[in-house]
Amino acid sequence: NRVIFEYNKQNAMVLKTDKNAGLIVFDHLAPFDPEMVGRFQFYGSDGGTDAFKVIGGKLKFQENVILKNEANQSDALYADPSKNVKPIRKF
């Protein structure tokens, strides 16, 4: 079986694997205007993420997947805006 993604040639689409989660992750494609449903030349990424997960040897479609990065050392440099803390600048 195959999955074919059709979208506007002026747009880009992300398609990658997340080995830790066991997913094939890709951008959610949607029409620019509700009147364009089914006319794939007017589709592009809407900022959402969908995925396929292998379950029992078959691909299962999952909508609106929330992805999280692995923790790393640079996380300490992040200033959370909700805490209203000014970042420390290192020169």
Average pLDDT by stretches of 10, the chain with 91 residues:
82 88 90 90 88 90 87 81 72 71
Q: In angstroms, rounded to a whole number, what is the distance separating the alpha carbons of residues 59 and 89? A: 46
Radius of gyration of the chain (CA): 18
Q: Which domain holds residue 52?
A: 1-67
Instruction: Domain count for the chain, please give it.
Output: 1
In a domain, 83, yes or no: no
pTM above 0.85, yes or no: no
C-beta separation of 29 from 46 below 8 A: yes
Q: In angstroms, rounded to a whole number, what is the distance separating the alpha carbons of residues 32 and 43? A: 6
Name the residue with tokens 């300490």: 76
